[in-house]
Amino acid sequence: MINKKLFKENFSFFDKEVVLEIIDIFINEYPDRMQTLEQDIQNKDSESLKFNAHSLKGVIANFVDEETKELAKELEYKGRDKNNDGIQELFQNFKINGDKLVEDLKELRENYL
């Protein structure tokens, strides 16, 4: 879940249009990013998983959603360590949180309009 107070503090120096664009980019790219992570896991491509989870973790950090960021970090570390134990369950938890993040961002977006 987004810490809305910290989110507003982080983006307080940005124009409204920039904040909306950042939100829109994430929302629009999210399905492809999730599909890529899922493919990385299915293909047991540890290097790609590490890279893609790390990239997503950085983007999520901007939105101050600590729980989802930590799940992305765990996926990143699974890739780094070439450890597939429990990775499907971890990915499902990440997806649930990521989907909630998208919904929270859509709500925040409406508040910025």
Calculate the average pLDDT of the chain.
Answer: 95
* Residue 7 is assigned to a structural domain of this protein: no
Provide the CB-side half-sphere exposure for 48 (13 A, CA).
13
Q: How many CB atoms lie within 10 A of CB 36?
A: 19
Closest CA to 57 of 32, 79, 74: 74
* Residue 63 is assigned to a structural domain of this protein: yes
* Residue 4 is assigned to a structural domain of this protein: no
* Residue 8 is assigned to a structural domain of this protein: no
CB 75 within 8 A of CB 90: yes
Q: What is the pTM of this model?
A: 0.93
Full domain range(s) for residue 20: 15-112
Question: What is the number of structural domains in the chain?
Answer: 1
58: CATH: 1.20.120.160
* Residue 6 is assigned to a structural domain of this protein: no
* Residue 2 is assigned to a structural domain of this protein: no
pLDDT (tens digit per residue) in 58-71:
999 999 999 999 99
